[in-house]
Structure 1
């Protein structure tokens, strides 16, 4: 009887755990890349009449949300059913943001004097870029995409 070893031959290459960790890390990297968005540090979507939005890429817009005359200069209007607020911070420039406050998720209710107001805890946001003007919110309102064609404002 020979005294051959009954133990399995040594396995060469990476351990199963190492392979699984590498696959998991690659999956996370892919997911994070897919979640990336275009660089828009102001968080706003600026649209000027005539559809001059700086690159909507010709995306089809939905039904008319409002007329440009419906959005007061220095103010705005909340469209609760669509979950957006449209502002006109300066004459002829229209912006749109989510109407959901970034503090506790309440719906903003009013826009006046260049400020979007949330009634729940008093957060205020800039009508020009959605940034926080007064807390407790710490994050700006996310931009919403609109198009302006003539006197029609549409969600994209």
Structure 2
């Protein structure tokens, strides 16, 4: 076997191709849906957590606003206080491309593509998302918002 001498051009071309492929893979993975963001009824859907597991103190969520929380399984959820003694919760995974939404007052905003959701209902207020955020069953129990 003989070794071919590599020209400067062939080394630079190969390096640029490898770098371009790596950047493309990172960009695609940032916009893709995550494995934990399953839609209801899909084969990746997770079973509902056991009822009564605490998520956040009711007093920590202002009425009409929402707060980010972690589900018992570590999933990202948003807990909203819909009235003085009632709450609602939704998956925090944007239904457009799978990014995590952030609570901002009465809205949930996706930092990736600009979708906006109603924090109290999970409904789409502004796309590109077309589907609402999937609800997570919760209830208020002894001053805590717990799984429902």
Superposed pair shares fold, TM > 0.5: yes
Q: Could you tell me which residue of structure 2 aligns to residue 115 of structure 1? A: 107
Partner secondary structure for residue 94 of structure 1: strand
Q: Runs (4+) of structure 1 moved beyond 4 Å?
A: none
Distance 1:141 1:154 in 2: 19
Q: Secondary structure of 2:139's partner?
A: strand
Question: What TM-score, normalized by structure 2, do the two folds share?
Answer: 0.60
CA distance in 2, matches of 1:104, 1:135: 11
5+ residue gaps, structure 1: 1-34, 36-58
Q: Is this contact kept in 2: 1:71–1:77, CA < 8 A? A: yes
Higher relative contact order (CA 8 A, sep 6+): 1
Query: Which residue does 1:86 correspond to in 2?
Result: 79
Number of the residue aligned with 1:69: 59
Structure 2 stretches of 5 or more lacking a match? 1-40, 42-48
| Structure ID, larger Rg | 1
- C-alpha contact (below 8 Å) 2:59/2:143 kept by paired residues: yes
The CA RMSD over aligned residues, in Å, is: 1.9
Q: Could you tell me which residue of structure 2 aligns to residue 142 of structure 1?
A: 134
- Alignment size in residue pairs: 98
